[in-house]
Structure 1
């Protein structure tokens, strides 16, 4: 009887997802209040960065961003020297290709640097460090409980989901952000815990602590069915301009990185550029929440709107390019709102009887530009829908977001998060080794565990294995012990949803096992493009040795490289 009522792995994971959601929400609140307190010390009020800039003299507009960048850079350059490098650099890396380990001290140092940048007017979003903090606490919980890498990664994903939800009060979009952008697919094995973490975080932020949504959305107007063509045009425009925006960010990072000066001087220079821009347009300071709300609720002359848009893009490129720690998610929404409002004003001038008010185009523009930069149209649609809670926005929003995504993807292959997710960034650490690295051989890491299944297992047993372990793939052997290949989780769940093909073994991908006598670096070269948790290993004459954890292999070689 006791065993019958004992919690299973999925139930324990859901419980921990709820705890992580709570911790993630509290972590984002702590960062938000620290930021508000620092701004109060600087200005004597908590009205926001734009009003602070408007009340400052010209020399103060130059001084504060420059000094803030200098302090933030000093923290990054020197504090990180005293903090040992352990684990992944950011939560996306930890979830997608790492072991789920995020360093407590590294995260706190980078958050402190971000706090100085954002509080001094840098044109970046605060959501980056907020999500990183939430993910770090999730990683800490999993490490205390000695979770294996695959479950630890899922817990970190729950923490990141809680951070996104807490930052934008969008629980559905928060869960889909991790599923669509980081995991690359929506799986029932991961979506359940992500949803639990997101819901708990939202309840804590809105119901218990009383925080309001950062954007106060206007009433959405949809004049006629013909207007959908205007919104398709907005999607095309966003899809064309988003790759140019991302290219500008990349160029700014490359130019700042090529400067023969220390990191703290680069951040100070980025702050100085923001200060110079704010002499003409003080609205470039900060994350732009107040400016977006003003665009959504008040009438702007198109000349003023165009100037604010151009200067904000330059300020964001300067802040992000200089190396300031923060997110570009919020600036992306700013650009989308301004671009949509400009487009709406143009449509009202061309066809006043058919076009809605400019604020309606600003709302859809936020979603379209977000989809065109993140390459996550479903997340973008649901985020704007959650913000507006208007069913009328759904049709034009869907058309604009999908059109923007398709257009942008045609022009540019990489999204704004591509470099954070690309395996080569981590794999480059070991590919640059001149020798073959450690004397260890792959056979010394091979184990037989629950990642190995038999082709004779039932479909229900395979499904239970994916749910209980959270693995991204399983290794399949025939009844006689031969290796058949690997079974990808996404392919498996697609087969479960469609019922095709009839036999689950037909979705197994043939895979040649690695040689157990390979050096670790050679093994990584062989599987560098494989998106999996486990790879099969055989010995002399094809003798079965077991499986090796790919994230664990990456961490071992990376640590060896760092110790040299």
Structure 2
């Protein structure tokens, strides 16, 4: 008997500790708790990225003995059949999936974050893992970072779902997963943090930075234990030799912006004219990649080997132009047709080859230019920053990918010029926003919505209330008031109402009440009653604000649901509480 009692007490203490932990996460001020979440998100994301990279790279090493990037070593028949076979396999796989399960990648993560409070179904993790691996193994022109971001976000989201965390912390977890995915995929933890804040979370807050930083560092360190910490590109000490390079740097930024705008517009046009059948879209994408790969095999796969050659100046101008043009076309077509691939890798490759081409053309007009690798590096950052409209993430990615701080100043100039040209000159959204618009989704959020998403209703709710039925005796009413509540939640079959305890006290003190056995109708006594709606304790203040506006109520009561069909009211939220938080 004592052992059973001890077991129950231990179980109760554990539940109380978990509930306290969840409650502490209702506001971003819980720094230690969010730090722990960041480490856990980075840890689990690191493991899933290791598994994904191992599957892709091990399979490619079996198919391509010369290395996972050596698609050009395949004979012409195999070079054509491999992308086609991959596309056919994906077409068959996706034809059996529900429509809601077919959306993958960064755009899907952004949609789940905005419309579903960051809840990503676990099955989408497995679908992205398999689909992303098949696409990369079969040589589809794309990068691994798109699937990696989805995998990291889904893993972190599932962690939050298992722990039953409030919705505001789910947003932080998604940011942690994305940062860890980018950091561990490229060995660029700082770029992962900036990308997550610029593209995924879409805001910068001091409190939000800390868990995201810890996640990126943890995920990167985990992956480095398996794949090492060597930079993707081996770059000698390249920098700007003189300020005479600066005009050419600005011109390069403008020309790269033209390519970025072309990539976005071609992707939009492809999607606009794409067939409805997902199977047919994948077959067309695979056929396009295979056909272009026959002529220019360097476009198959990610293409980082071509970047390394361009950095060393080993590729002639015609080859640089051919690879850049075909890579751009293949990437835009694949993205427009919905192939489950990443686009950061292709933007780096296209930008690098375009930068190398620019140097060779510019060097015919000036003999004072810096090394060709300098313009290759700038092209990479400019293309990434312009296409993603994430200039700071692009800058940090350059520094970490090349481990060359000497390019920071000219890279800032080139990236900013490219970003402004695309955003203001061509008036185009980021490529992720364009993808969302093609799917009929609006990912823009106003400042108020972002602010209210940082905290849950539990952080502002009043716990000083009592719950009662509509009818009760004077004795029962007096007993309620002895608890000194501020509010009385009236539960009724028709509709629930909120009554001020002061109004009930005044009603009891009136001369109309003669006996302690008199029955009171709390819906009829003098006083102001507020229409009230229900909200779960996990909801953010943004969700609460939407419910108040949508249902035209004057207050919300917060409930916990310990079991199906069982609700426990735990707090009251007024519009003034939400307003007070926003103004603070």
| TM-score over 0.5 for the pair | yes
Aligned equivalent of 1:372: 386
Aligned equivalent of 1:395: 409
User: Which of 216, 220, 223 matches 1:198?
Assistant: 216
Q: Residue 75 of structure 1 contacts residue 109 of structure 1 at CA under 8 Å; is this kept in 2? A: no
Aligned equivalent of 1:267: 282
Q: Which runs of 5+ in 1 are unaligned?
A: 429-446, 454-514, 521-529, 550-564
Aligned equivalent of 2:335: 320
CA 1:413–1:279 in structure 2 vs 1: closer, same or farther (change >3 Å)? closer
Q: Residue 537 of structure 1 contacts residue 547 of structure 1 at CA under 8 Å; is this kept in 2? A: no
CA 1:367–1:533 in structure 2 vs 1: closer, same or farther (change >3 Å)? farther
Aligned equivalent of 2:67: 47
CA 1:548–1:75 in structure 2 vs 1: closer, same or farther (change >3 Å)? farther
Aligned equivalent of 1:358: 372
User: Which of 305, 318, 323 matches 1:303?
Assistant: 318
User: Which of 115, 140, 149 matches 1:122?
Assistant: 140
RMSD: 3.5
User: Which of 148, 162, 186 matches 1:144?
Assistant: 162
Aligned equivalent of 1:285: 300
Aligned equivalent of 2:459: 450
User: Residue 102 in 1 paired to residue 111 in 2?
Assistant: no
User: Which of 131, 134, 156 matches 1:113?
Assistant: 131
Q: Secondary structure at the match of 2:112?
A: helix
Deviations 1:223-250 (A, max 9, x none): 1122112111111212233112110111
Aligned equivalent of 2:152: 134
Aligned equivalent of 2:580: none
Q: Secondary structure at the match of 1:546?
A: strand
Mapped partners of 1:414, 1:180: distance in 2: 14
Q: Residue 39 of structure 1 contacts residue 46 of structure 1 at CA under 8 Å; is this kept in 2? A: no
* Number of aligned residues: 450
Q: Residue 161 of structure 1 contacts residue 194 of structure 1 at CA under 8 Å; is this kept in 2? A: yes
User: Residue 405 in 1 paired to residue 419 in 2?
Assistant: yes
Aligned equivalent of 1:254: 272
User: Residue 31 in 1 paired to residue 31 in 2?
Assistant: no
CA 1:201–1:543 in structure 2 vs 1: closer, same or farther (change >3 Å)? closer
Q: Residue 43 of structure 2 contacts residue 222 of structure 2 at CA under 8 Å; is this kept in 1? A: yes
User: Residue 336 in 1 paired to residue 351 in 2?
Assistant: yes
CA 1:80–1:295 in structure 2 vs 1: closer, same or farther (change >3 Å)? farther
CA 1:221–1:124 in structure 2 vs 1: closer, same or farther (change >3 Å)? same
Give the greater-gyration-radius structure (CA): 2
Deviations 1:95-130 (A, max 9, x none): 344312111112211321221121111111111111
Mapped partners of 1:312, 1:423: distance in 2: 22
CA 1:187–1:423 in structure 2 vs 1: closer, same or farther (change >3 Å)? farther
Aligned equivalent of 2:398: 384
Deviations 1:282-325 (A, max 9, x none): 10101111111121124221111111111111221232233210
Q: Residue 71 of structure 1 contacts residue 113 of structure 1 at CA under 8 Å; is this kept in 2? A: no
Mapped partners of 2:100, 2:190: distance in 1: 39
Q: Secondary structure at the match of 2:364?
A: helix
Q: Secondary structure at the match of 2:223?
A: helix
CA 1:82–1:327 in structure 2 vs 1: closer, same or farther (change >3 Å)? closer
CA 1:427–1:547 in structure 2 vs 1: closer, same or farther (change >3 Å)? farther
Q: Residue 127 of structure 1 contacts residue 167 of structure 1 at CA under 8 Å; is this kept in 2? A: yes
Mapped partners of 1:91, 1:246: distance in 2: 20
Deviations 1:47-105 (A, max 9, x none): 024x23x232222222111111010121122144797999x982222334431211111
How far residue 536 of structure 1 moved from its aligned partner, in angstroms, is: 6.5
CA 1:167–1:30 in structure 2 vs 1: closer, same or farther (change >3 Å)? same
How far residue 214 of structure 1 moved from its aligned partner, in angstroms, is: 2.4
Q: Secondary structure at the match of 1:222?
A: coil
CA 1:543–1:221 in structure 2 vs 1: closer, same or farther (change >3 Å)? closer
Mapped partners of 1:105, 1:539: distance in 2: 34
Comparing 27-36 with 207-216, which one deviates more in the overlay?
207-216
How far residue 217 of structure 1 moved from its aligned partner, in angstroms, is: 2.8
Q: Residue 95 of structure 1 contacts residue 154 of structure 1 at CA under 8 Å; is this kept in 2? A: no
Q: Residue 385 of structure 2 contacts residue 394 of structure 2 at CA under 8 Å; is this kept in 1? A: yes
Q: Residue 517 of structure 1 contacts residue 539 of structure 1 at CA under 8 Å; is this kept in 2? A: no
How far residue 544 of structure 1 moved from its aligned partner, in angstroms, is: 3.0
Q: Residue 142 of structure 2 contacts residue 345 of structure 2 at CA under 8 Å; is this kept in 1? A: yes
Aligned equivalent of 2:35: 14
CA 1:223–1:538 in structure 2 vs 1: closer, same or farther (change >3 Å)? closer
Q: Which runs of 5+ in 2 are unaligned?
A: 1-16, 25-29, 444-455, 463-529, 560-584
